[in-house]
Structure formats: structure tokens, C-alpha cells
């Protein structure tokens, strides 16, 4: 299930999409990551990478980045220096309540994920890298879907990835997403302020 592709369209946003960063998630995320093509990128660079199966360690755990796959993720970030970093995940249906619960920040230290549609969830990447490696203005998003997704869910997931791949900058991305998911954008900005204070990155 390992996969790599680099799409280059001249100057512009540098994007890095990594799927299957732990456990068997790559079996599901590769179904989406392979659907992205040169037609989805207007300018800049898009690097697509799907990890092989690995032992499951939460990305919220500092030990994750000492694991083989964690070091692989850090290497890719260091190598490509993305302005947009997207992690593709999947979750077991029984995990949905814990991922979206309002008390998630008290339990594990990060805001709850937000549902876009059909079980597709969005949030920030782990603070282990979001606040330590990336700049505030960088676009860093975790995108989750149920593992072994339905056709409808996979379509929502892929369509959102295509929006990300085609966005020219943060302003362009926010405008495009607000037209489809206005309430989710507002909530995500509220949660972002928990991490960054007055600065509201999407």
C-alpha cells in the first residue's frame, strides 16, 4: 500500500499529503490518495505519499515521532518544507464519539474533530509537529474518514482533497470551503484560537 507521486506545476504552494501514518490506515487512505492527479493542481507542488502498514502509535504520543514511520514523516516534512501539510487518516466507527466529543481537549489535549459530511472529519494535525515544526501561517489539516469507507463517504473525502490540492493559498482555500461548509469553517477557526490565541489559521 506504499505509494509516492510528485506533481510539479511551477512556482506556488508546496503541498505534502501523507496517508496511513499508523496501523493499517493506509489500506483505506490509498483509495483516496490515488484519485488525485495533475488536473487537480493548478500551480505549485503536490507530493503524495502513502505509508506502509506499521505498528499503531497515536500521533499525539511524542513516542510516535521516534518510531520508524514517525521518522519517515519527519523526513518528508523536512525534505519538502510544505506550506500545506495534510494527514490522511481513517477511524473505526466506534471511535467517532471520542474523536468528536467536546471534552476531547480535556482528555487528550486537542480540540474535537469536526464532521464535514458522511462521517468525514477535519481537524488540526498533532501539536507535536503543528506548533513545533510548522509556522502559524502554514495550512496543517488532519482529514479522517471511517476505515473501509462507503462510496458516498469516499467521494466526500476525495472531493475535499481535490479542493486542498487546487487551492492557491490560505485565502483561496477558506473562500472555497466556506461556500460548502460555512459552519465547519467557523468552528475550526474557533478551535484554532485555542491553539494559537488571536491568530485563526484554518
CB 45 within 8 A of CB 8: yes
> Where do the structural domains in the chain lie, given as residue ranges?
3-196
Cell of 34: 490515488
Q: Which residues contact 82 (CB under 8 A, 6 or more apart)?
A: 14, 15, 16, 47, 138
The model's pTM is 0.94
CB 123 within 8 A of CB 191: yes
Domain 3-196 of CATH type 3.30.1360: no
Report d(CA 198, CA 182) in Å as an integer.
Answer: 20
Give me the tens of pLDDT residue by residue for the chain, a chain 202 residues long.
Answer: 689 999 999 999 999 999 999 999 999 999 999 999 999 999 999 999 999 999 999 999 999 999 999 999 999 999 999 999 999 999 999 999 999 999 998 898 889 999 999 999 999 999 889 988 999 889 999 999 999 999 999 999 999 999 999 999 989 999 999 999 999 999 988 888 777 665 444 4
Q: Which residues contact 140 (CB under 8 A, 6 or more apart)?
A: 84, 85, 86, 124, 125, 129, 130, 134, 201
Amino acid at each position: 500500500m506504499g505509494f509516492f507521486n510528485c506533481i510539479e506545476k511551477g512556482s506556488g504552494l508546496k503541498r505534502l499529503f501523507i496517508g496511513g501514518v499508523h496501523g493499517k490506515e493506509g489500506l483505506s487512505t490509498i483509495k483516496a490518495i490515488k484519485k488525485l492527479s495533475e488536473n487537480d493542481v493548478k500551480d505549485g507542488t503536490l507530493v503524495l505519499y502513502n505509508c506502509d502498514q506499521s505498528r499503531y502509535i497515536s500521533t499525539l504520543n511524542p513516542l510516535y515521532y521516534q518510531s520508524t514511520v514517525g521518522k519517515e514523516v519527519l523526513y518528508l516534512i523536512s525534505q519538502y518544507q510544505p506550506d500545506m501539510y495534510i494527514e490522511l487518516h481513517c477511524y473505526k466507527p466506534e471511535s467517532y464519539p471520542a474523536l468528536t466529543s467536546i471534552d476531547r481537549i480535556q482528555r487528550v489535549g486537542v480540540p474535537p474533530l469536526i464532521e464535514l459530511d458522511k462521517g468525514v472529519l477535519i481537524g488540526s494535525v498533532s501539536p507535536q509537529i503543528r506548533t513545533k515544526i510548522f509556522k502559524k501561517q502554514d495550512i496543517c489539516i488532519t482529514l479522517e474518514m471511517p476505515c473501509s469507507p462507503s462510496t458516498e463517504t469516499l467521494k466526500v473525502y476525495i472531493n475535499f482533497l481535490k479542493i486542498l490540492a487546487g487551492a492557491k493559498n490560505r485565502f483561496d482555500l477558506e473562500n472555497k470551503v466556506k461556500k460548502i461548509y460555512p459552519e465547519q469553517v467557523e468552528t475550526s477557526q474557533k478551535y484554532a484560537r485555542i491553539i494559537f490565541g488571536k491568530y485563526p489559521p484554518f
